[in-house]
Amino acid sequence: MQFTKSIDAFKKAQQVIPGGVNSPVRAFKSVNLNPVFIQKGKGSILTDIDGNQYIDFLASWGPLIFGHAHDTILAAISEAAQKGTSYGAPTEYETKMAELIIEMVPSIEKVRMVSSGTEATMSAIRLARGFTGREAILKFAGNYHGHGDSFLIQAGSGAITLGLPNSPGVTLGTARDTVIAEYNNLDSVRAIFREKGHEIAAIIVEAVSGNMGCVPPSEGFLQGLKDITKEYGALLIFDEVITGFRLAKGGAQEYYGITPDLTTLGKIIGGGLPVGAYGGRKEIMDMLAPIGPVYQAGTLSGNPLAMSAGIAMLTMMKDTVDFYPELERKAAILEAGIHKNLAETGVKGVINRVGSMMTLFFTDQAQVTSLNEAMTSDTEKYASFFKMTLESGIYIAPSQFECLFISYVHTDKEIEHVLAENLKALKQLSK
């Protein structure tokens, strides 16, 4: 493959955009490459500005569960756009979207629309503080909840990739109000709550971690968090920006049978457009302005284009009878094939999968259940693997600490091709 135009485009972008990108991991820094610049996408196929085509298993970092440029979603966006792109005023799109979310996620009785996952998580912890009258928030090492100050005390994904687990610009005061526990370690949570449980407003957790790679909750972990928060009068917030509507109609909370107090959403509910939302019990949500004292606002919240795309997306998911079984079937085939390839080549690795989310960690560990275990991964080996995978026409995350996403539009033939190319790449790594 030739990448001449992408290399030139990156040089030009670096002159006017910090690092040449508008989100750090896009820079391909951790895989020692220049980023490819995308021209278009259709279905499961991406095309870059050099004309190279890729089977896309990144799906815009998760939201494109029906692939790129789906005709139904495009039609919904076009119809809405013909009437106007933004009003800064209520529309019926917002009510329809709220009704769909509430129908599909039983723990949500009321929901507020925002414009990004970061905005959703920032607003959710402010609401939790306002509701409980407490100031501290507990989060987990390796969980990423956006770039809000309260979350960049110890982060995953992009911050790991850049070697910046603590970001300059976050004040000491903010850091003191954020307590870090170990993911999948209830003892670490209990110890913190014994010491300062009555100061903690909420636990916020990725129900399935997607930002240190795919790391599922261990058995009893989520229920344990629910029990602890109930005991101490704190709230439990599930960050389902990635898992919402991907693992099940009701997200990870349906998948695992645990009911949080608040939920943050994003990605899929925008149908590919910028969006976020947070919701939960009425008594909590009614603390928000204009009927309560907790302030949050946004000119583009509930944008009609994003709402129309999201409504189309969620309606298709509801109406497609085999939707989740098909995602599971395809993902299981891919997982089994990679396991077979690892065994055949002798390359050491751990595959974590939950539904249509998956990560191959290049590690000698027997399992990956926490940030410390994820960080044993050989990132240089991943960089070599990524380069071979990209050059074979397969697009995955340019970071060891991210997920691969299966979409409904991926075909069995494409999965067979991916497994064949995966075997070739692993054979090269085994030499």
Buried b (16+ CB within 10 A) or exposed e, 176-204: ebbbbbbbbbbebbbebbeeebebbbbbb
What residues act catalytically?
144, 239, 267
Q: What values do phi and psi take at 198, rounded to 5?
A: -80, 0
Instruction: Return the structure tokens found at 259.
Output: 């009911």
Query: Rounded to whole angstroms, how far apart are CA atoms 336 and 358?
Result: 12
Q: Which residues pair with 126 in a beta bridge?
A: none
Q: Which DSSP helix (H) or strand (E) runs through 321?
A: none
Query: Rounded to whole angstroms, how far apart are CA atoms 136 and 185?
Result: 19
Q: Which residues pair with 358 in a beta bridge?
A: 353, 404
The owner of tokens 């003191």 is 176
